[in-house]
Chains A and B, each alone.
Chain A
Amino acid sequence: MKKLERARWRCRRGLLELDIVLQRFMDEYYAKLDEAELGQFETLLDLPDNDLWDMITLKETGNGNLQPVLRLLQKV
């Protein structure tokens, strides 16, 4: 129920870098995600801001299961 809006709000972050990247991701990719990827995205959104940003900028490779969505985040 209202998954999209919920996700959109959880893309509101303390780091402007993440606000921008996540907004781009929502606009470009969110609608195309399958169930598994939606789950990955939610897991990523639960991470602290700096950890998520590190993963997006490749400093941390993190959990292998999250790679598909992470790769999209790295692209936007």
Chain B
Amino acid sequence: MKSYGIYELNYAICEFKHEISVAIVRRKFDAVIVGAGGAGMRAALQLSEAGLKVAVLSKVFPTRSHTVAAQGGIAAALGNVTEDNWHWHMYDTVKGSDYLGDQDAIEFMCRQASEVVYELEHYGMPFDRLENGKIYQRPFGGQSQNFGGAQATRSCAAADRTGHAMLHTLYQRNVQANTQFFVEWMALDLIRDEEGDVCGVTALDIETGEVMALQARATLFATGGGARIFSASTNAFINTGDGLAMSARAGVPLEDMEFWQFHPTGVYGVGVLISEAVRGEGGYLLNKDGERFMERYAPNAKDLASRDVVSRALTTELKEGRGCGRDADYLLLKLDHLGADVIKTRLPGIREIAIKFAHADPIHDPIPVVPTAHYMMGGIPTNFYGQVVAPYKTGPEEVVQGFYAVGECACVSVHGGNRLGTNSLLDILVFGRAAGNRMIEDLKKNRHHKHLPADASDKALARLSRLNDQKDGESVAQVGDLLRKTMQTHCGVFRFPDMLKQGVEKIGEVAERAMRTEIKDKSRVFNTARVEALELENLVEVAVATMVSAEARTESRGAHARDDFPNRDDDRWLKHTLYFREGQRLDYKPVRLKPLTVESFPPKARTY
């Protein structure tokens, strides 16, 4: 196949505006999936096993997707250790979401949890076992029996490698099913036709620099999270929110972008996650006076209170000048009292991380930590079939034909204002499978590819050529740093009205500068500078959506904590935010309070 590079295309753009789309190579698939993490690969498997021709694109080798980082486990009410059922799991998820979760989707997810876990076991996932041979389960924060009663034991794990095991299992199975992987390919933009239907994506082969239009009867985004918009982030560098940015640029709104989960214990300065397991084993947090401050904020649960509560406590300590170090900008996680044996046997991974990144051996010294951006609850709005829905024709939740999204990039919404630990791996499996099934059904009806519009890839090509031609431009690294600092300062754990207002302006300035970035390397092959500049443009979309949505929501709910509006306000704000890129317009839609079969859980005060 002949490869057309960016240079030729640039020329084409200037001279023959209509010929470009003819110039770039097109390939046809039944389905194109962007993202090869747990969500993308679960969906791909469903489609490939049904005999469809599926292309899966990933910026990195599939098993290097961020899902690999998940250690804690996957939630499912199997009841192998203590009594459990999906209805209790559903209650916990609704409550955890601070009642912003859609109860139909939550019921759907919790009901299917056991099935998807057993299915994965059947695919060869090496779950830890109990002596009786059943899947081992461990307790996790936010899990209860009997609708808020005693601690439940609901998370299934494969040692501290659950995500890794899941990715490898799904990858092997996909290879057997003949899923076609496009590794080190970056999707640039969505292709929509005049009717608003989605017909595929324009993508860049990082290795050769070739740009191609991948045409599909169904297009699924599973591009993961975007917590790299913050300076303190537990996410790997690839998590730049590309799927959200592509959707926003194509006119699809983004839902609930003000809701980001901050994990209380990321290593100061680098962000690497120190798991809750440390506090579960008896580690606790200290301020500069050596005070165990969580006793003041959560007298009962103390250091084991839910993530948003602990993160807010840390932030308050820092704000009131009780942080440690020269700049009083971190707190300490103490665990030496557990003794060398416990640390070495039960927390070996944590010890390595502390030594490597904080130069502190927790056997002797506490670990410096700060609240760190961890998970994006918002995303591309979908229903529980994984179909993208938007108020773009007649109804508020109209299906965007041909377009699907699952995983962290999607907002179903099962996590609402705050995600519970181990519910995300569940989300990606349940909705990955559901979206796959729905796509199979839809493809039976849509037997033919829609006609690709002549200008299908023009916008993506124009962005590439702008970048190539930019003179006297901005540095990608500098603008990126500024973006992350702006988000961290103006839209962090606590949100202040004046800071948010300024934040909207500042992030707007960052956005303008990001449109003038310049790269020195103009070559085609493996041009990582180009990829990073494109990623920055994506981060900008996610950051602006977040700031604008956060500024507008004048209440505190789940992970969104406003200093000026400290309480949840169900009368005014029991609704989802929809952010439209054009004109940075906001719209809202109601929360789906009606589950599929059971009674609704009405909003109550959320206490632990």
On A, residues with C-beta under 8 Å from B are 1-2, 5-6, 8-9, 12-17, 19-21, 48-50, 57-59
B352 within 8 A of A: yes
B238 within 8 A of A: yes
Could you name 23 residue pairs across A and B whose Cβ atoms are closer than 8 Å? Answer: A1-B525, A5-B521, A5-B528, A6-B526, A8-B528, A9-B531, A12-B64, A13-B64, A14-B67, A14-B167, A15-B68, A16-B235, A16-B236, A16-B270, A16-B272, A16-B273, A17-B353, A20-B357, A21-B356, A48-B168, A57-B356, A58-B352, A59-B348
Contacts A9-B206, A14-B63 supplied; 18 other A-B pairs, CB < 8 Å: A5-B525, A6-B207, A8-B528, A9-B184, A9-B526, A12-B238, A14-B60, A14-B65, A14-B68, A14-B167, A14-B238, A15-B69, A15-B236, A19-B236, A21-B356, A48-B168, A50-B68, A57-B356
Known: A5-B527, A13-B60, A13-B236. A49 touches B68 (CB 8 A): yes
List, in ascending order, chain A residues with CB within 8 A of B523's CB.
Answer: 2
List, in ascending order, chain B residues with CB within 8 A of A8's CB.
Answer: 528
Known: A16-B236, A17-B356. A48 touches B69 (CB 8 A): no
List, in ascending order, chain A residues with CB within 8 A of B521's CB.
Answer: 5
Give B193-240 interface residues, CB cut-off 8 Å to A.
206-207, 233-238
List, in ascending order, chain B residues with CB within 8 A of A13's CB.
Answer: 60, 64, 68, 236-237
Complex: chain A residue closest to B61, CB-CB: A10
- Measured between C-beta atoms, what is the minimum distance from B349 to chain A in Å? 8
Cross-chain contact A14 with B66 (CB below 8 angstroms): yes
How many angstroms from the CA of A17 to the CA of B161 in the assembled complex? 14
Please count the residue pairs between chain A and chain B whose beta carbons lie under 8 angstroms apart in the complex.
81
How many angstroms from the CA of A5 to the CA of B352 in the assembled complex? 29
Cross-chain contact A20 with B64 (CB below 8 angstroms): no
List, in ascending order, chain A residues with CB within 8 A of B503's CB.
Answer: none
- Measured between C-beta atoms, what is the minimum distance from A55 to chain B in Å? 12
B89 within 8 A of A: no
Give B154-209 interface residues, CB cut-off 8 Å to A.
161, 163-164, 167-168, 184, 206-207
Cross-chain contact B526 with A12 (CB below 8 angstroms): no
In the A-B complex, the 6 residue pairs with the smallest Cβ-Cβ separation, listed nearest first, are: A14-B68, A5-B526, A57-B352, A2-B526, A14-B64, A19-B237
Complex: chain A residue closest to B161, CB-CB: A50
How many angstroms from the CA of A57 to the CA of B357 in the assembled complex? 11
Complex: chain B residue closest to A8, CB-CB: B528
Number of interface residues of B (CB under 8 A): 39
Cross-chain contact B60 with A12 (CB below 8 angstroms): yes
Partner pick for A16 among B164, B207, B271, CB 8 A cutoff: B271
List, in ascending order, chain A residues with CB within 8 A of B68's CB.
Answer: 13-15, 48-50
List, in ascending order, chain A residues with CB within 8 A of B63's CB.
Answer: 14, 48-49
How many angstroms from the CA of A15 to the CA of B270 in the assembled complex? 12
Cross-chain contact A20 with B272 (CB below 8 angstroms): yes
How many angstroms from the CA of A6 to the CA of B238 in the assembled complex? 15
- Measured between C-beta atoms, what is the minimum distance from B164 to chain A in Å? 5
Cross-chain contact B69 with A14 (CB below 8 angstroms): yes
Complex: chain A residue closest to B164, CB-CB: A50
- Measured between C-beta atoms, what is the minimum distance from A5 to chain B in Å? 4
List, in ascending order, chain B residues with CB within 8 A of A48's CB.
Answer: 63-64, 68, 164, 168
- Measured between C-beta atoms, what is the minimum distance from A44 to chain B in Å? 13
List, in ascending order, chain A residues with CB within 8 A of B233's CB.
Answer: 16
B307 within 8 A of A: no
How many angstroms from the CA of A16 to the CA of B167 in the assembled complex? 17
B59 within 8 A of A: yes
List, in ascending order, chain A residues with CB within 8 A of B206's CB.
Answer: 9
- Measured between C-beta atoms, what is the minimum distance from A9 to chain B in Å? 5
How many angstroms from the CA of A61 to the CA of B272 in the assembled complex? 23
Known: A21-B356, A49-B64, A50-B161. A16 touches B69 (CB 8 A): yes
List, in ascending order, chain B residues with CB within 8 A of A50's CB.
Answer: 68, 161, 164
How many angstroms from the CA of A57 to the CA of B361 in the assembled complex? 13
List, in ascending order, chain B residues with CB within 8 A of A49's CB.
Answer: 63-64, 68, 164
Q: Which of A16, A21, A49, A57 neighbours the largest number of chain B CB atoms within 10 Å of its CB?
A: A16
List, in ascending order, chain B residues with CB within 8 A of A16's CB.
Answer: 69, 233-237, 270-273
Complex: chain A residue closest to B237, CB-CB: A19
- Measured between C-beta atoms, what is the minimum distance from A7 to chain B in Å? 9
Binary contact readout B33-77 vs A (1 if CB under 8 angstroms, 0 otherwise): 000000000000000000000000001100111111100000000
How many angstroms from the CA of A2 to the CA of B233 in the assembled complex? 30
List, in ascending order, chain A residues with CB within 8 A of B526's CB.
Answer: 2, 5-6, 9
- Measured between C-beta atoms, what is the minimum distance from B205 to chain A in Å? 12
Cross-chain contact B270 with A20 (CB below 8 angstroms): yes
Q: Which of B60, B357, B528 neighbours the largest number of chain A CB atoms within 10 Å of its CB?
A: B528
How many angstroms from the CA of A15 to the CA of B69 in the assembled complex? 5
Cross-chain contact B352 with A14 (CB below 8 angstroms): no
Complex: chain A residue closest to B525, CB-CB: A2
List, in ascending order, chain B residues with CB within 8 A of A58's CB.
Answer: 352
How many angstroms from the CA of A21 to the CA of B273 in the assembled complex? 15
Cross-chain contact A17 with B65 (CB below 8 angstroms): no
- Measured between C-beta atoms, what is the minimum distance from B385 to chain A in Å? 28
- Measured between C-beta atoms, what is the minimum distance from B573 to chain A in Å? 33
List, in ascending order, chain B residues with CB within 8 A of A1's CB.
Answer: 525
Cross-chain contact A12 with B352 (CB below 8 angstroms): no
Binary contact readout B344-372 vs A (1 if CB under 8 angstroms, 0 otherwise): 00001000110011000000000000000
